[in-house]
Structure 1
Amino acid sequence: MPAHVVVPVDDSDRSVDALEFACTEYPEAKITALHVLDPGDFYAASGVEGGAMANYQEIQRHYESRGEGILDRSRDRAAEYDVEIETEQVVGGVSRSIVDYVEGHDADHIVIGSHGRTGASRILLGSVAESVARRSPVPVTIVR
């Protein structure tokens, strides 16, 4: 039985499914909902063109605030299962940040949704769950 389970969360139904799975299967474990802010999203939203940049810091604050909302909803969802979770928000490449977090925080299991991204972005960028499963030093459960 895992002692510390990390559940990457975003605003997708699959990440909610993964959190619910972790709460039901590992209610005695320490569960951390991890939200990763990808700085590439900040640049895309800021409209970087020819070196000109919109207010990058304001856009980053917007994404951080949105991430806090995702983490708040994750805490509320876990409470529905009578499970208290920890939450963390980090900035970086999504799959790399998840693996780095696990390595740096003595986690021994990852529960991840099968796909948070949809459509062309999933095909072009590859599956985060696949990348995490390939790189992870600990067992990974992919929830569909």
Structure 2
Amino acid sequence: MPSHILVPIDESEQSDAALKFALSEYPEIPITALHIIDPADIQGGVALESVSPESYENLQAQQEDAAEQILADAMKQADQHERTIDTEQMIGTVTHSIIEFADGHDADQIIIGSHGRTGASRILLGSVAEKVTRRSPVPVTIVH
């Protein structure tokens, strides 16, 4: 039985399903919902040289606002299960950040939604869930 579960979340239905699964299957285990802001998403695929510092800061602020809403939604979902959860936000590459967080915060299980990323990044980068599963030092449950 795990003692601390990490649930990476984004705005996808799959990450919502992963959080719901964690909340219902592990009612007594502490859960941390983690949202990663990927710098590649901040620049939106535009060459970094063509983005002014002010524009980059505005894009980053928009991503941070969206992250706050995603984490607030996760807390509401926990409230519906009469639970409290911890929420965290990081900036970095998604797979690496999930693994780093799990390792650095003593998470001993990761529960992740399948196909959490969408669009071109999903096609170009492959499944985040698959990469996390291959690289994780702790057990990973993938929720469809």
Aligned equivalent of 1:99: 99
Aligned equivalent of 2:50: 52
Which amino acid is the alignment partner of residue 53 of structure 1? Answer: V
Is 2:71 the counterpart of 1:88?
no
Distance 1:53 1:118, change over 3 A: closer
Greater than 3 Å deviation, 4+ residue runs:
118-121
Offset of residue 52 of structure 1? 3.0
Is 2:69 the counterpart of 1:69?
yes
What's the C-alpha RMSD, in Å, of the aligned pairs? 1.3
Aligned equivalent of 2:13: 13
Where in structure 2 are there 5+ consecutive unaligned residues?
none
Where in structure 1 are there 5+ consecutive unaligned residues?
none
**TM-score, normalization by structure 2:** 0.93
Distance 1:119 1:38, change over 3 A: closer
Q: Determine helix, strand or coil for the equivalent of 1:83.
A: coil
Count of residues in Structure 1 that have an aligned counterpart in Structure 2: 142
Which amino acid is the alignment partner of residue 113 of structure 1? Answer: G
Which amino acid is the alignment partner of residue 109 of structure 1? Answer: Q
Aligned equivalent of 2:132: 132
Offset of residue 123 of structure 1? 2.4
Offset of residue 120 of structure 1? 4.4
**TM-score, normalization by structure 1:** 0.93
Offset of residue 121 of structure 1? 3.3
**Identical-residue share of aligned pairs (%):** 53
Single out whichever of 117-126 and 54-63 deviates more from structure 2. Answer: 117-126
Q: How big is each residue's C-alpha offset from its partner over 1:83-142, in whole Å with a ceiling of 9 and x where there is no partner?
A: 110000000000110000000000100000011123543222100000000010000000
Which amino acid is the alignment partner of residue 51 of structure 2? Answer: M
Aligned-partner Cα distance in 2 for 1:121–1:65: 21
